[in-house]
């Protein structure tokens, strides 16, 4: 289990190094302060507006070479820290904030959340010092969830996106919400098209635009992640999990696992 918060300051000795924040399976949230923030993510040089949140996927590489010219905070946490429940696990691993095509998502100019965010940061710093205590671990977990929720709420009106891109983003979110609720009982695409009142071509265009994936890829990925969660956090056997996920036999499930666990 991993959780940490680091202050990025022009005055500090830059104790943050690329290796420490680019560990495998570590999610990161960058919070910028009153000045523009500059950094490299996956080789792309970014000018991030003041008072913004940047959600960075585990696969993305963050360079700290420009941190000394910027100020902010960097939260980092593992899936095991965030996933207190099945819903947490699914939300994190399928959240567009961390899994967008670029590997990061910028939610800029959150002027309305400045006081709230700064208060949460102060609590997170306290929680880090006393992280060995259960109550402070719970506090840190709940505060990180607040930052994830803020990002999702703000992205309901995507920043500087045209109407089509905004609609695509929301359609994918609606599709994923349906998958979270129904995927253990319904694996056929037609069920979700009816729920969303969409034609297959329209949903495919949305998922390809936002995630570069087909709708059935998302369905199978949800099944795989549901399987992995149950295998890790419950005492169910593979056969029992296959049964609960609605598969008539293990072989059918194993075919999907073989293909999508590699992704």
Residue 191 has pLDDT above 50, yes or no: yes
pLDDT by residue (tens digit) across 231-259? 877 788 888 988 888 888 788 888 888 88
Distance between start and end Cα atoms, the chain: 23
In angstroms, the CA 137 to CA 222 distance is: 28
Residue 261 has pLDDT above 80, yes or no: no
Q: Domain-by-domain residue ranges, the chain? A: 3-154, 163-260
Fold of 3-154: Jelly Rolls (2.60.120)
pLDDT of residue 18: 54
pLDDT of residue 19: 59
Fold of 163-260: Arc Repressor Mutant, subunit A (1.10.10)
71: nearest Cα among 32, 124, 110? 32
In angstroms, the CA 107 to CA 31 distance is: 10
Task: State the chain's mean pLDDT as an integer.
Answer: 82
- For residue 237, give every residue at least 6 positions away whose Cβ sits within 8 Å of its Cβ, in sequence order, or none: none
pLDDT of residue 158: 45
Contact at 8 Å (CB) between 9 and 83? Answer: no
Residue 48 has pLDDT above 70, yes or no: yes
Residue 163 has pLDDT above 60, yes or no: no
Residue 75 has pLDDT above 70, yes or no: yes
pLDDT band of 15, cuts 50, 70, 90: very low
pLDDT of residue 162: 44
Q: Residue 24, SS3? A: coil
Q: Do domains 3-154 and 163-260 have the same CATH topology?
A: no
Strand 3-8's sheet: what is its strand order?
Answer: 3-8, 72-78, 26-32, 53-56, 104-107
Residue 159 has pLDDT above 80, yes or no: no
Residue 184 has pLDDT above 90, yes or no: no
Determine the average pLDDT of the residues in 41-52.
84
In angstroms, the CA 257 to CA 255 distance is: 5
């Amino acid at each position: 289990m991993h959780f940490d918060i680091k202050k990025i300051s022009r005055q500090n000795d830059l104790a943050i190094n690329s290796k420490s924040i680019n560990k495998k399976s570590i999610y990161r949230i960058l919070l910028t302060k009153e000045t523009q923030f500059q950094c490299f993510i996956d080789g792309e040089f970014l000018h991030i507006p003041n008072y913004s949140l940047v959600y960075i996927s585990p696969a993305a590489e963050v360079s700290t070479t420009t941190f000394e010219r910027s100020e902010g905070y960097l939260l980092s946490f593992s899936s095991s820290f965030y996933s207190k429940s099945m819903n947490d696990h699914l939300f994190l691993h399928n959240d567009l904030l961390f899994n967008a095509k670029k590997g990061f998502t910028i939610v800029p100019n959150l002027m309305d959340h400045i006081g709230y965010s700064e208060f949460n940061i102060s609590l997170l710093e306290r929680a880090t010092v006393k992280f060995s205590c259960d109550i402070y671990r719970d506090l840190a977990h709940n505060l990180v969830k607040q930052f994830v929720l803020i990002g999702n709420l703000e992205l309901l009106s995507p920043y500087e996106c045209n109407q089509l891109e905004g609609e695509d983003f929301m359609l994918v979110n609606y599709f994923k919400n349906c998958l979270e609720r129904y995927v253990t009982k319904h694996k056929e695409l037609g069920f979700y098209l009816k729920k969303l009142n969409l034609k297959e071509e329209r949903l495919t265009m949305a998922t390809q635009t936002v995630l570069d994936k087909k709708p059935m890829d998302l369905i199978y990925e949800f099944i795989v992640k549901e399987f992995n969660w149950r295998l890790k956090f419950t005492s169910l056997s593979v056969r029992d999990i296959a049964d609960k996920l609605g598969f008539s036999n293990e072989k059918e499930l194993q075919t999907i696992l073989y293909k999508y666990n590699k992704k």
